[in-house]
Chains A and B, each alone.
Chain A
Amino acid sequence: MSRLRAEHLYKVFGRRPDHAVARLESGVDREELRAKGVTAAVIDASFEVDEGEIFVVMGLSGSGKSTLLRMLNGLLEPTSGRVEIDGEDLTALRPRELRDVRSKKISMVFQHFALFPHRSVLENAAYGLEVQGIPRAERDERATEALKLAGLQGWEQSWPDELSGGMQQRVGLARALATDAELLLMDESFSALDPLIRRDMQDQLLELQKTLKKTIVFITHDLNEAMRLGDRIAVMRDGRIVQIGTAEDILVRPATDYVASFIQDVDRSRVLTAGSIMEDAEGGTSALRDGELGDASTVTAETPLAELFTPLSSGGNTMVVTDEDGTPVGVVDRERLLSALAEEPHVNGHGADRARGRAEDGGKDGAAGGGDDESAGVTARA
């Protein structure tokens, strides 16, 4: 069941936005509007987020991802389209009702933490509860609990300026968790942290998510982060969502040249799993069927490729892939592994002119590439 639903969202800044939406619908280009001083930040965005899902919106700066996020909790009013939370249309609500929804159902974590410097850590964490009008004793208790979840036990009476960046963002996270809101909006929440801390935070988020099962919309410009966190990923470009899919979908079946160019530098060995490249058991690998591989090592289907190198290089030529119950579902051999890594992603639909794609997006790509390199570095060390 979808908890969050966006239907044909448009956000246009500038004069006569309705008119601009009509023109966009009739196929007028975004650049053409910009020449007239009208900025179309989000164009025709539609998606659904299921309960307990981490939905990552990935895009470069200026792609409209932050604007999209702010329409999801009503901080920005869509020029056109609908946002539904649990079937309730946000765009139809009056300001007071909208604030109520925000305080009870939605939490947000910000890029630069947005902690209140005039409040202690505990007061910051309790802020959402304070807005809800919950008595002090209860909100202190719940905030303390949330801080504990975020790993900040014992820091309640400190001040934000006494904490490191990572710890500050944990306070931000605790503040978002304390309200028990089901929907968590995270706006580049880890982008301002240095790589080691960022990775810690990602791990912690995934760890928390296992127990909390929140519905999370996560904004990032870092594809590796998107791949790592996202159950599904929406790639945005120039205000439009160009592709929605799982990490593997994006990596293996990029919808456009743009996406393809994007994933160029992604560490495929960490995104692709054994399950995605194995030779299916039904396909009838003779070796598996014949039980020849009794001594071969086994891995689960979720194991990233990066973790297959060691067993394959030390042991035999083939590995058995099993599901969670240990039932063999397929096999991976050395050849298959190497060819998966070497495989060119092929763009769906039209013939790839990758040279042109790169030329077009060279600048942005370069910028994003920096971030990717960073995480790649971390990956290598890890």
Chain B
Amino acid sequence: MPEFHPGDWVEDAVDWLQKHLGWLFDFINTVLTGLYDRINDVLGGGEALLMAGIFAVIALWLRGALAGVVTFAGFALIDSFQLWDQAMETLSLVLAAAVITIVIAVPLGIWAARSKAFSAFVRPVLDVMQTMPAFVYLIPGVMFFSVGTTPGLLATIVFSMPPGVRMTELGIRQVDSELVEAAEAFGTSPKHTLTRVQFPLALPTIMAGVNQVIMLALSMVVIAGMAGAPGLGERVYAAVTQVQVGLGVESGVGVVILAMYLDRMTGALNARVSPLGRRAAAKATAAMGRMKFVRYRPGTAVALCGVVVLALVAGGMNLAGGDGDKSVAGTDVGKGKQINMGYIPWDEGIATSYLWKEMLQERGYKPNLKQLDPGPLYSGIARGDVDFQTDAWLPTTHAQYWDKYGSKMEKLGAWYGPTSLELTVPSYVKGITSLADLKGQGKKFHGKIIGIESSAGEMKILKDKVLKEYGLEGEYKVVSSSTSSMLAELKRSIAKKEPVVVTLWSPHWAYNAYDLTKLKDPKGAFGKGEKLYSVARKGFSQDDPTVANWLKNFHLSDQQLTSLENRIQQAGEGKEQDAVRAWLKKHPGFVDKYAPVPGQKKDGRDAGKAVKMGYFPWDEAIATTYLWQNVLEDRGYRPSAKQLDPGPLFTALAQGQMDFQTDAWLPTTHAQYWKKYKSRSTDLGPWYDETSLELSTPEYVKGIDSLADLKGKGDKFDHKITGIESSAGEMKILKTVLKKYGLDKEYKVVSSSTSSMLSAVDRAVKQKKPILATTWSPHWVYSKYPMKKLKDPQGAWGKGDEIHVTAKKDFKKDFPELYGWLKNFHMSEKDLGSLEAAIQAGGKGKEKESARKWLDSRPGLVDKLAPVG
């Protein structure tokens, strides 16, 4: 047979259309999107429960009291799933599509009923519309209309049109020909025959068609989620591709509620709009006799009043709500939230605690500061009475408390370190810079080392270890007293310029107040330094992520800390707060740096520009897309992210309908798309260095660590390798891999889809059964399940890909600044892993928030990714 591919012509035609009829598509796009936006403004604008009330009144009007109650409950359930916005988007899509469909379908049906020729012509067209798989025109739809609402609406219109046309034609043809003849015999014009006789009598059938149209529209709108149509469909699609069963079910239930509502309402609409329907309803009610009240339905005017009242209330509340939202800006982050802080009366504890007290106050919190001994402080944190403290010396000094309460606390990070213990002399004591220099100088210091409290850990180390190490025993005597005595002695000596050696530690304000020399400890006799941590009660970072993030990012240099301590020291007790304020005045920008108001932005050069990002549901794509969405928002851009399949995404980029995407695996995995669209796209280079493809198996499958181990073990795996989409590049390579290891006879590769593969892994792991899955890195399957990658000693999989950012052709011209940022974008496997994990942990639907948190926990990263100024 000669080969025949009309598909090629279609592709050529599509190209031609894009070039020459762009204005038409733009027009259609504007009309459809405009219609959708208007409807969505109305439906999505109101308070959820009030809108549910409006729907309930409509149900009451159409079907009676029970339907009204059930409707309200159903929509309230959607709201409680937090899917209200999506549900309204879906409803808006359905209504927009249905309106357009009916406006087109009914006249076509009438025409078909009147003209046999047109009927004969239109029938096969309708067959095609109804049976042609939606994906076939969904994808070209993306080419012409970009991703989002329009191709989804178009596909929906195409799919739901046939029953509208067919039922209209049928309805009109079904009208008794004698009635039509009677109308004609009395001289009725064709137009009036239609409007006075045929149409009213066909209305029940036409309404059945409308019902069908709406139901098909709903089912298609869900599928159109694939092409980026908003609403529940997008959620369902995302849930399915990411194996989020729970979310899938919730969205699915939302769709079902909408479907039932639309079905019952349009079904009942007939009884209201068509005279025949009204007749039938009146008869049925009359037949019910005493049970009439069950079928009570308010008059149209009453129902309309109800809807209007609710709509006005909804509109009013919406306005009021909008005003409230606007006042959030400013630096009031805490909004009066109380935070309990505790501190040990050590200088750095006092200093940082008052510092945070001041900063938190400035950010609108109500910090409550309490001085405690270490024991009560730690147990207070462990019990949750105290939110956090800033002066945990770890790993040594506070080890006993940490060991005891560590599991009930969380470390928010070190803000100073390492600390050190040391002997110190005033710097006017010349020739002594190290502990070793003290030997033989005992006379100078009267053989005395001024110590602190004998119970202090430092004193013990000094006596037991340091003096011994440096052979100072006998020559020096450690005088124990108290910290304050030691400092007084130091002060006195300095005033007299007498040589003195004291037991001191860092950080200490004394270093800021006096000119001192820390004696070096070349033998490390004082041991390793510690770090100063902020620790909080368990769960604090979830309850107050903002403060937790501030504390995590908090850091003081030696100079900053000692100067602060010194200032507090000088101000005297009771005036700590004033000292902190004065100190902050000398350090402008400190508060903004360490307690940044979330969402505070530094605008980029192209701020205000809309950036359209696309991604397909691969984890690194999701992670980086949402990361960039946050970064771009910080820079004042207006980014949007849309999930698409790779094909449509690359197409949309080539068409210039999307701006960039972060997940092009090159040169291998996405070669087919890249080859096709390379000339119409921009490559911004790799941000991730080497991916890998592999077969993987659960860790409990012992004895299989490498591809070579698979030989002869076919029975174990039912001779089956669970593959992904047969179109995937990896599947093709897998064949040669199997051949190289001589496994091609023994194993059969079953192609399915990524989500099915992941489901299979999930099932196998839960049942502890062996499985061979076709996977790749980076992928969360390795973090979620105990899976091991099978080694490839022969290198059969070949070199891995790089992950590139690719963009539309004119990207550099349109977004010069962003172009630069993305060009320099790079992520290590570790960073990517932690970002993916953060997003995975944050849960579905919170990707953006999770990425935000991750980003906030890395101060300066935004500046690094998107430098401005």
Contacts and interface: CB of A to CB of B under 8 A. Distances in A.
Nearest to B184: A75
Nearest to A118: B275
Given A114-B176, A118-B275, A99 B189 contact: yes
Contacts of B183: 127
B188 A112 contact: no
A229 B629 CA distance: 90
Given A117-B276, A118-B279, A112 B187 contact: no
Contacts of B275: 118-119
A258 to B, nearest CB: 29
Contacts of A185: 185
A110 B187 contact: no
A75 B276 contact: no
A29 interface: no
Contact of A75 (B176, B181, B274): B181
B187 A108 contact: no
A159 B279 contact: yes
Interface in B193-221: 196-197, 200-201
B276 A118 contact: yes
A159 B279 CA distance: 9
Given A114-B181, A117-B201, A108 B276 contact: no
A118 B197 CA distance: 8
B179 A114 contact: yes
Q: Please classify how large the interface on chain A is, using the bins under 10, 10 to 19, 20 to 34, 35 or more.
A: 20 to 34
Nearest to A132: B187
A104 interface: yes
Contacts of B187: 99-104, 128, 131-132
B178 interface: yes
A107 interface: yes
A103 B186 CA distance: 5
A116 B181 contact: no
Given A117-B201, A117-B276, A127 B186 contact: yes
Contacts of A220: none
| Most chain A beta carbons < 10 A, residue from B178, B186, B189, B200 | B186
Nearest to B274: A118
A73 interface: yes
Contact of B186 (A111, A117, A128): A128
Contacts of A130: 196
Contacts of B309: none
Contacts of A110: 178, 181-182
Contacts of A106: 185
A212 to B, nearest CB: 18
**A99, A119, A159, A161, most chain B CB atoms within 10 A:** A99
Nearest to A181: B186
Nearest to B177: A114
Interface string A85-123: 000000000001001111110111011101011110000
Contacts of B601: none
A168 to B, nearest CB: 12
B594 to A, nearest CB: 77
A131 B186 contact: yes
A189 interface: no
Interface in B264-306: 274-276, 279
B713 interface: no
Given A110-B178, A131-B192, A159-B279, A118 B200 contact: yes
A322 interface: no
B201 A118 contact: yes
Nearest to B178: A114
Contacts of B189: 96, 99
Contacts of B192: 131
Contacts of A144: none
A185 B186 CA distance: 11
B186 A116 contact: no
B279 A179 contact: no
A112 B178 contact: yes
B781 to A, nearest CB: 63
A102 B185 contact: yes
Interface in A168-193: 175, 179, 185
A61 to B, nearest CB: 16
Give the residue among A110, A130, A131, A132 with the most B Cβ atoms within 10 A. Answer: A131
A130 B201 CA distance: 18
B188 A108 contact: no
Contacts of A112: 176, 178
Interface of B: 176, 178-179, 181-189, 192, 196-197, 200-201, 274-276, 279
Interface of A: 73, 75, 96, 99-104, 106-108, 110-112, 114, 116-119, 127-128, 130-132, 159, 161, 175, 179, 185
12 contacts: A75-B184, A100-B187, A101-B187, A102-B184, A102-B187, A104-B187, A110-B182, A114-B176, A114-B181, A119-B275, A132-B187, A159-B279
Instruction: Name the 5 nearest CB pairs between A and B, nearest first.
Output: A103-B187, A114-B182, A102-B187, A118-B275, A108-B185
